[in-house]
Amino acid sequence: MKLLFVASIPLEFSHLRRPADEVRTVANGAGAHRAAAGIDEALTSFRPDVMVSMGFCGALDPSLKIAEIVVGTTVFAGERAFPAEPPITSAAHRSGPICTADHIVGTAEEKKKLYSSGRIAVEMEAAGVAQRAQKLGVPFFCIKSVTDLADETLANDFNVVLRSDGRFDTIKLLASSLRHPWVRLPELVRLQRRCALAARSLGEFIANCRF
């Protein structure tokens, strides 16, 4: 089977193992439009049987924990809704509607508002993947792993350091963090550890999935 996995950064693929399948990965930066553009480029030389939006997400449901797997049942982006297939697996996970945002949702207040609309997690790429899967007529799956909790407000403003190419300006982020080092630098270290845990849980979960 030919599988196309789409995320925002290569770290999200770091534990991905599908030795029995032909796999292509796309990490074209944050945002649905970046994901769609990356897929368009990949499709010039690769025709997948399945598309999977995978990567990190923020929890909206307060019961979700760090590195817990969330399988999207529907991806909402504005007024649009895209159904997602459930993978066949016995591995533990949560299922529910996911929101694709056009920015990094970093405050507990905004997370609470999104949760009140029925979404359980938020991310930035899945809607772009869903659109391309729908256009190509192939099954779409959405598998995410939690890196920040519903009741957390991020001390660092990641939106101001997100470049137009969907990448984070690390120099600008570090400079910003140094203005409030006792709060912002520990958060960056904590997020790095969480991302490592989330990447591992993603790889382990997907290794036990049938698409």
Cα(96)–Cα(61) distance, rounded to whole angstroms?
A: 10
Q: How many CA atoms lie within 13 A of 178 on its CB side?
A: 6
Cα(131)–Cα(75) distance, rounded to whole angstroms?
A: 10
Predicted TM-score (pTM) of this structure? 0.96
Domain ranges of the chain: 2-207
Q: How many CA atoms lie within 13 A of 28 on its CB side?
A: 22
pLDDT grade for 22, boundaries at 50, 70 and 90: very high
Residue 179, pLDDT above cutoff 90 = no
Across residues 40-48, what is the average pLDDT?
97
Angle formed by the axes of helices 32-42 and 126-136, to 10°?
Answer: 40
The domain 2-207 is placed in CATH, from the list 3.40.720.10, 2.60.40.10, 3.10.180.10, 3.40.50.1580, at 3.40.50.1580
Question: Are 122 and 25 contacting, i.e. CB atoms less than 8 angstroms apart?
Answer: no
Q: What value does the mean pLDDT of the chain take?
A: 96
- Give the pLDDT confidence of 83-122 residue by residue, as tens digits: 999 999 999 999 999 999 999 999 999 999 999 999 999 9
Quick one: what percent of the chain has pLDDT higher than 70? 100
Residue 182, pLDDT above cutoff 90 = no
From the list 208, 170, 205, 193, the residue with the least C-alpha distance to 54 is: 205
